Amino acid sequence: MGRYTLIKEGVTHLFVPSASVKLAVPPATPAFFNPRGVTVRDIAVLACRAYLRLFGDVEFGDPLAGVGAKTIRVLNETDVSLAHANDLNSYAIKLARRSAVYNSVQGRVKFSTKSANHFLEIHSKPGNRLGMIDVDPFGSPTRFVDSALRALQDEGMLSVTATDTAPLNGVYRQVAFRKYFGYSLKTDFSREVGLRLLCSMVVRRGMALDVFPRPVFVHSDQHYMRAYFLLEVGPSRANDIVGSLGYVMVCRECGARYAAELPSTTCMECQKRTDFCGPLWIAELFDANFVGAMYEEAKKSGPPKHAKLLSTAANELGSPPFYFRVPNLADRFDAPAPSPSYVRDELIRKGWKATLTSLDPQGVRTDAPARIVFSTIRELKYV
């Protein structure tokens, strides 16, 4: 096989280090490529297609391109006219160049080997800004967000990945506070807490720059947490979103969970002590137009699971934040866990709002109080 090999992902052929596809843990040298990140790259392509459908052609920037898997796929599977692939690792860029030639997109891509922030600084000048920027580092993206926001044009799309899921999922709360400016929490909806912390970090960095990166789509896959934003420029927009940041309280006694602008240590339902996380983003995670455009693109190509994910996300619009994870609740009274679909349907029959969630296949969002959710699961335990 040699040092590198040719693989196919989507409809794109990619040259990647041979060890990346042979070893269980892809090595960092000579260049890093994770085959298990295919879902993240699939969704990124759909997001780019959706953006082009809604806003028209712009330049795409990948400051941490690695072997160029995402950039080459975006060029080969969307109508982006020009992309910039940058990575400090010259061997990774060598493979990216080879992939560009193989897929006949070499005339639509510019390569560079600068540091990510230096690359973004070059594109921060008026007239040189990018329409789509993808920040996909190993670990936390925090150190790149300011530069990415400065390099993004008005109404541009920013996509941000975090792979340090232990802090975001509540294992290391102090680390989460240090990197994301809010406490995480270990609970049944920790995945959503992590995504909302990621969103709030990006939003708060934007507020300091008098811009509003508005969350339009989020998802999580394996150890990836991923959020997409559309940029709105102006201090008035930045001021408008202060009320969209707040805290989430969770009662370990009765299971209640709710959001508020200020933290509380007393449960609103049973008056027992609560745990809290935040500050974090407590407003909508999905935008109807953007998710709808992604769904239309997913129906045209790609695995059916992506269209299903996006359909579920669209149904979550307007639903209460912070889902209930059905198996976790069923464990409280040692009962078999009913299907989340049955729980959703029964809650709707009782007059409550309820949806499944794209963030967890075992989760249900509802405006029903925790006690109603518990009793519903208990009633359905043998279904």
Distance of alpha carbon 159 from alpha carbon 182, whole angstroms:
20
**Mean pLDDT of the region 26-43:** 94
CA-only gyration radius of the chain, Å = 21
For position 287, what pLDDT does the model report? Answer: 97
**Mean pLDDT of the region 276-295:** 97
Distance of alpha carbon 103 from alpha carbon 14, whole angstroms:
8
For position 336, what pLDDT does the model report? Answer: 83
| Dihedral, CA of residue 361, residue 365, residue 371 and residue 374, to nearest 10 | -20
pLDDT at 378 over 60: yes
pLDDT band at 302 (very low <50, low <70, confident <90, very high): confident
In whole numbers, what is the pLDDT of the chain averaged over residues?
Answer: 94
**Mean pLDDT of the region 235-245:** 83
Distance of alpha carbon 89 from alpha carbon 55, whole angstroms:
33
pLDDT: which is higher, 242 or 196: 196
pLDDT band at 1 (very low <50, low <70, confident <90, very high): very low
Percent of the chain with pLDDT over 70: 99
Distance of alpha carbon 48 from alpha carbon 62, whole angstroms:
13
Residue 50's alpha-carbon distances to 109, 173, 233, in angstroms, are: 20, 35, 21
Domain map (residue ranges) of the chain: 4-243
For position 175, what pLDDT does the model report? Answer: 97
Answer yes or no: CATH 3.40.50.150 is held by domain 4-243. Answer: yes
pLDDT at 381 over 70: no
Return phi, psi of residue 88, to 5°: -65, -25
For position 282, what pLDDT does the model report? Answer: 96
Distance of alpha carbon 59 from alpha carbon 81, whole angstroms:
7
Distance of alpha carbon 55 from alpha carbon 42, whole angstroms:
20
Lowest-confidence segment of 106-115, 163-172, 184-193, 254-263 by average pLDDT: 254-263
Residue 125 structure tokens: 């000048």
pLDDT at 2 over 90: no
Distance of alpha carbon 246 from alpha carbon 226, whole angstroms:
20
Residue 67's alpha-carbon distances to 42, 73, 133, 184, in angstroms, are: 16, 11, 17, 33
Lowest-confidence segment of 151-160, 224-233, 237-246, 359-368 by average pLDDT: 237-246
pLDDT, one tens digit per residue, over 184-203 is: 999 999 999 999 999 999 99
pLDDT at 52 over 70: yes
For position 154, what pLDDT does the model report? Answer: 96
pLDDT, one tens digit per residue, over 134-149 is: 999 999 999 999 999 9
